[in-house]
Amino acid sequence: MKKLTLLLSVMLFWGCSQASDQEAAKSAVKAQSDAIQAEAKEEIAKTIDQAKATAEEKVMDEAKSAMAKVVEQPKSNFQAGIHYRVINPAYNTGAEDEVIVYEFFGYTCPHCASFEPFMKKLQAELPENSKLVRVPVVFGRQWEPFAQAYYTFEAMDIVDKAHEPMFEAIHQHRKQFRSIEDIAAWAASSFGVDEDKFLSTAKSFMVDGQVRKGMQMVKAMGVNSTPTLVTNGKFVPNNKALRTRNDVLEVTKQLVNEELAAME
């Protein structure tokens, strides 16, 4: 009986010992698992913080870049559809590396005559890689001799001498030009050019072709009044929405600069 009691005691002790070892093992495993999870959570938190910092840095860099561009480029004061009209489709100027400002004018137009000082100012203020191109309009047969005259001034290299005086002769001195012959006689007496050469040039195929091209340009760009400025075959100032003639110059210069920037 004593032996049996002893055996039972040993077995009970061994069983309790095994249970204790198992509990200890479980506790150890759980502690190790908790440590791994805590380490993993710490690593994940670090990764998230780094990602946030990188994203914030990228956002800040992009914001700085955007602000720099805003500082570099003046804020647009004029808006399409309000201060200027967009021509669609645009007229192909044929110039890939410069911006063209077309001035559609007529010598007999009093508004063109009074606008001429502003055109001189605009021409002087145009940036590099842009230029002014004058287009004398022909809204009727009575306009044709004056278009011939302008292209003849160009051909004979006397535009700088004759352009402004032509306006003055008509609108200040009230000189009557009824034909290209009248203009040829005036040009000969005013600038010493050969009258016959002036007439032969004015009636040449070259000048006739330029006049016809000008008429096509008027139609293509929807020009129906003078003076009209067209920037790069795309944009026309809305004179009704612009308060002064200086505003017409400013919107034109803005559009020229925007077109030049788009070419870079």
DSSP string, 113-138: HHHHHHHHHHHHHPPTTEEEEEEE--
Last residue of a domain, one of 72, 94, 111: 72
Predicted pLDDT of residue 77: 84
> Are 116 and 210 found together in one domain?
yes
Among residues 116, 172, 185, 110, which one has the least CA distance to residue 145? 185
Range of the domain at 244: 84-263
22 pLDDT more than 50: yes
User: How far apart are alpha carbons 74 and 210 in whole angstroms?
Assistant: 38
* pLDDT tens per residue, range 33-46: 566 666 656 766 67
> Are 187 and 92 found together in one domain?
yes
Among residues 155, 166, 161, 165, which one has the least CA distance to residue 199? 155
> Are 41 and 107 found together in one domain?
no
> Are 254 and 132 found together in one domain?
yes
Last residue of a domain, one of 51, 72, 93: 72
Instruction: Tell me whether residue 113 is in a domain.
Output: yes
Position 10 confidence tier, pLDDT thresholds 50, 70, 90: very low
Instruction: Tell me whether residue 123 is in a domain.
Output: yes
> Are 93 and 165 found together in one domain?
yes
> Are 59 and 156 found together in one domain?
no
Instruction: Tell me whether residue 233 is in a domain.
Output: yes
pTM score: 0.72
Position 253 confidence tier, pLDDT thresholds 50, 70, 90: very high
User: How far apart are alpha carbons 84 and 93 in whole angstroms?
Assistant: 19
Instruction: Tell me whether residue 11 is in a domain.
Output: yes
The mean pLDDT value for 221-245 works out to 96
8 pLDDT more than 80: no
> Are 31 and 113 found together in one domain?
no
Q: Is 175 left (phi over 0), alpha (psi -120 to 50) or beta?
A: beta
Domain of 91, CATH number, reads 3.40.30.10
Position 12 confidence tier, pLDDT thresholds 50, 70, 90: very low
Place of tokens 């004179």: 239
For the chain, the first-to-last Cα distance in angstroms comes to 109
* pLDDT tens per residue, range 197-220: 999 999 999 999 999 999 999 999
Instruction: Tell me whether residue 211 is in a domain.
Output: yes
> Are 50 and 137 found together in one domain?
no
User: How far apart are alpha carbons 116 and 162 in whole angstroms?
Assistant: 13
Instruction: Tell me whether residue 186 is in a domain.
Output: yes
* pLDDT tens per residue, range 39-85: 656 766 676 667 666 666 665 666 555 454 444 444 568 999 999 99
> Are 31 and 107 found together in one domain?
no
Last residue of a domain, one of 72, 99, 131: 72
- Angle (CA) 245-174-139 rounded to 5° is 60
- Evaluated on CA atoms 222, 232, 250, 161, the torsion sign reads negative
> Are 110 and 45 found together in one domain?
no
Instruction: Tell me whether residue 78 is in a domain.
Output: no
What is the total count of domains within the chain? 2
> Are 134 and 175 found together in one domain?
yes
* pLDDT tens per residue, range 88-142: 999 999 998 999 999 999 999 999 999 999 999 999 999 999 999 999 999 999 9
> Are 90 and 213 found together in one domain?
yes
Instruction: Tell me whether residue 216 is in a domain.
Output: yes
